[in-house]
Amino acid sequence: MKCFTSENFALCWKPTSALKEMMNNEYDDVQWDVRSSADIFTAHLSSHEPVDTFTNNPYEDDEVRAFVNVLGILTEIGQLNTEQAHASTSYMQSTEYQNAEDVEDAEQIEETFAAKSMEVRVEDPQKRSEGAGSHIAYLIITSTTLETFSSPKPRPVRRRFQDFVWLHDVLILEFPACVVPPLPEKHRIKYFKGDRFSLDFIEKRRLGLQWFLDRIARHPYLQQSQCTRIFLESADFKNDKQTQSRKLPAAASLFDSLGDTFLNAFVKVKKPDDRFIGMKDSIDKLQDNLGTVERLYSRIGRRQRDLGTHYQHFATSVRGLSMLETSVAQPLQNFAETTDAYAKAMNDMINREDMLFLNDIHELLAYCNVVKEVLHERDQKQVDFEELSDYLQRAIQERERILYPGRTMGDTSGLNITEFMADKMNEVRGNDINRARQERLMRLELRIKELQDEVARTNDINNTFSSQMNREFDIFQKAKTAELKEGLALYADCHIEFYQKGLSVWENILPMLESTIGDEYAAHE
């Protein structure tokens, strides 16, 4: 059991603060629901299905139109989810504000809930050998305004992947009602292909760990955990983490976890809360559309890779032609090299898109799964409360039947077979029936008292979990919006950089081709 205690994109691979500010400023004025008058490459936001309505343009690819439509629907879902989050947060805040003595207390509640400024960077992965094995150590650089840290810019530290696993696990133990972001590779490991020490694998993992820490840095509770502070700045991490681990509640054993799962597997919430049903529905819809984006993007990526391969074959053919046409051999060679450079730029664009945009979609899907797990855990808390309340009600009814035999209790008849048989057995044995009833009443009173305490405890847990879930969903909404915006900006930036490279490549060869054509005309004249 768990215990409660656009016009321009200025993003690069590692965008500078100036570029980030430019991007944020441009996005502040974007109107996401604007439709083109020509109805070309325009998302139909009125559609509720990912790929059910496309514009009719013979020059567009169906998959590109579908991809654009889904991106538009993601924007619509984001707006709807944001409205739901505001509604849930408003409900939660109004409940809290009822207990506040004045406006100053209410503002203090809001200020306590807001996350402090924190920026964490994961950089410079280095391979290190330790004993018979090797691992990758990542440089962690932190800047924050949190008072719990030793300074606004603590000394950079190095952490390996297992250290990230420790932070993830202890945060789950410390904050069982919070959405602790997932780690890379703990889900959908098939996306991490190849040697775990290859540059591609290391960079993918570094990006995943960066997103993991970014989500923690945006969380008002996780960022203030002592475990987070120790991870980000401790110079004696091995000893400090052992000391901190002793202060945390013990993890549930495998037997207890399986037992709880089995007992609650066939029990549903009797009175579901519309707020949490809406949360689950919105996350399901988001996952469906993210999955559609993933599939369409992968299909487009395969076509782009095939196109790059065709450009390379075209370059090889032009080189072969230069061996036959000796009079223009050099221009043909240069043209083949230009085509190869263009194909390489296209492959670089695809690889960067996979690294930045596609991995961002995968991490966001994993984040959605964690939110759904916490929602399910909240439902289990409500099930515990409802089941204990039923046990308590049955115990009270049993006590009433003993005190007032023959009286109808609710929808049950006055004649109770169990009571009748118990009285007959006592009568046959020669026991005093009144005394036996008194003993049973004493046992029932003890059971009722225990159940009342448990019902009160589980009710407090359920209410606390539900209130925290409202906050968690609001945090998730903000994180999702920021990550989708950044992912789409990176996707656009990859294409902008590719077209700039392509323009430069072809512009460089134009003067040579024009001079070659001019020489040919002069020779004929």
The pLDDT tens digits for 13-63 are 344 444 344 444 444 444 444 333 443 333 333 344 443 433 444 445 555
The DSSP code for 159 is: E
Assigned token pair, 473 = 């969903």
Residue 172 belongs to domain with CATH number: 3.30.1520.10
DSSP 340-366: HHHHHHHHHHHHHHIIIIIHHHHHHHH
pLDDT band at 222 (very low <50, low <70, confident <90, very high): very high
Please indicate, yes or no, whether residues 187 and 228 belong to a single structural domain of this protein: yes
Whether the per-residue pLDDT at 135 is higher than 90: the answer is: no
Does residue 253 lie within any of the structural domains? no
Indicate whether 473 belongs to any domain.
Answer: no
Q: Is 238 exposed, middle or buried (0-12, 13-18, 19+ CB in 10 A)?
A: exposed
Q: 160-211 pLDDT, tens per residue? A: 999 999 999 999 999 989 999 999 874 444 444 556 778 888 888 999 999 9
Are 98 and 123 in the same domain?
A: no
Q: Which of 32-46, 303-317, 318-332, 397-411 has the lowest mean pLDDT?
A: 32-46
The answer on 92 and 31 residing in a single domain is: yes
Asked which of 204, 236, 268 is the last residue of a domain, the reply is 236
Same-domain status, 136 and 166: yes
Phi first, then psi, for residue 129 (nearest 5°) are: -105, 135
3-state secondary structure of 410: coil
User: Based on the domain organization, do 139 and 198 belong to the same domain?
Assistant: yes
Q: pLDDT category, 402, cuts 50, 70, 90?
A: confident
Q: Does some domain include residue 23? A: yes
Residues 104 and 128 in one domain: no
Q: What is the mean pLDDT of residues 62-82?
A: 55
Kindly tell me the number of DSSP H helices and DSSP E strands found in the chain. Answer: 13, 3
Q: Is residue 11 part of a domain?
A: no
Q: 124 and 59 in one domain? A: no
Q: What is the mean pLDDT of residues 423-431?
A: 61
Q: Which helix (H) or strand (E) holds 460?
A: helix 433-524
Same domain, 82 and 126: no
* Rounded average pLDDT over 128-141: 83
Q: Name the domain boundary from 110, 135, 162.
A: 110
88 and 197 belong to one structural domain: no
More confident residue, 396 or 405: 396
Domain range for 49: 17-110
Answer yes or no: do 91 and 127 share one domain. no
Q: Domain for residue 242, yes or no?
A: no
Domain count, the chain: 2
| Axis crossing angle, helix 359-403 with helix 274-324, rounded to the nearest 10 | 160
Q: What is the mean pLDDT of the chain?
A: 75
The predicted structure's pLDDT at residue 409: 53
Q: Which residue has the tokens 């004993």?
A: 131
Q: How confident is the model at residue 255 (pLDDT cuts 50, 70, 90)?
A: very low
Name the strand (E) or helix (H) holding 450.
Answer: helix 433-524
- Per-residue pLDDT band for 425 (boundaries 50, 70, 90) equals low
pLDDT of res. 97: 42
Residue 215, domain member (yes or no): yes
For residue 379, being part of any structural domain is answered with no
Would the pLDDT of 315 be above 60?
yes
Same domain membership, residue 120 and residue 54: no
- The reported pLDDT for the residue numbered 140 is 94
Question: Which of 53, 78, 110 is the endpoint of a domain?
Answer: 110
- Would residue 405 count as lying in a domain? no
Q: Answer whether residue 99 shows pLDDT above 60.
A: no
> Is residue 20 a contact partner of residue 29, using CB atoms and an 8 Å limit?
no
89 and 197 fall within a common domain: no
pLDDT class for 115, splitting at 50, 70, 90?
confident
